[in-house]
Chain A
Amino acid sequence: AQSVSQHNHHVILSEAASLELGCNYSYGGTVNLFWYVQYPGQHLQLLLKYFSGDPLVKGIKGFEAEFIKSKFSFNLRKPSVQWSDTAEYFCAVNAEGGYQKVTFGTGTKLQVIP
């Protein structure tokens, strides 16, 4: 069975600091990978996804993630965070193609201090 782990539960950064949120998954075959964001009081929304191709994926709002197959990782990065990036971030994996049966990580709460 597939599983996802996010090691950082709560991250506090100052504005302009660089961000990297870890995500590791366990599944030996082909996977689709996602990062979702949930801003305070809002719905979950897709930040970026990897299905195939270039392992460095660029998403909305300056976020990017790199798929490293050998490390079973899909870490999320942003070179310079803003206060508006304060949110909860969820990594997710699907080993069955498309969006079927996506497994979510437990989430990382990011707090950006102005």
Chain B
Amino acid sequence: GAVVSQHPSRVICKSGTSVKIECRSLDFQATTMFWYRQFPKQSLMLMATSNEGSKATYEQGVEKDKFLINHASLTLSTLTVTSAHPEDSSFYICSPLEGVQETQYFGPGTRLLVL
């Protein structure tokens, strides 16, 4: 199956710092990238959708200036949590959509803990 990597797998940072999460599709091109957030014992919540080379579309309630998404290439997308606060602590999962087969894959997730 397709391989999706996320880096880092877990990160601990101080409140007020920024954290960048990378998502790579290693053996296919992702025309669309979805970013999800999952709080403990809750379901995945879609944060934003981005198409390569375009600005991301954010879901209601998700601050675009806080969660910066860059989808500069068909194999790499980044999510930057700017000025992170403890309430941003969560599990962030990227999900690239492979355009030819229209198959959605998921990354392993990044556990963010903001102290």
| A contact residues vs B (CB 8 Å cutoff) | 4, 36, 42-46, 90, 98-107
Contact = CB atoms under 8 A, between A and B. Distances in A.
A17 to B, nearest CB: 25
Interface string B42-59: 111110010000000001
B50 to A, nearest CB: 12
Interface stretch (B12-20, B71-79, B80-88, B103-111): B103-111
B106 A43 contact: yes
Contacts of A98: 102
Interface residue range, chain B: 20 to 34
27 contacts: A36-B106, A42-B108, A43-B105, A43-B107, A43-B108, A43-B109, A44-B44, A44-B93, A45-B1, A45-B105, A46-B103, A46-B104, A90-B43, A90-B44, A99-B34, A99-B97, A100-B32, A101-B46, A101-B49, A102-B34, A103-B46, A104-B43, A104-B44, A104-B45, A105-B43, A106-B41, A106-B43
B4 interface: yes
Contacts of B42: 106
Given A43-B107, A44-B44, 15 more contacts: A43-B4, A43-B105, A44-B93, A44-B95, A44-B106, A45-B105, A99-B32, A99-B102, A99-B104, A100-B49, A101-B46, A102-B104, A104-B45, A106-B43, A107-B43
Contacts of A102: 34, 46, 104
Interface of B: 1, 4, 32, 34, 41-46, 49, 59, 93, 95, 97, 102-109
Nearest to A38: B106
Contacts of A36: 106
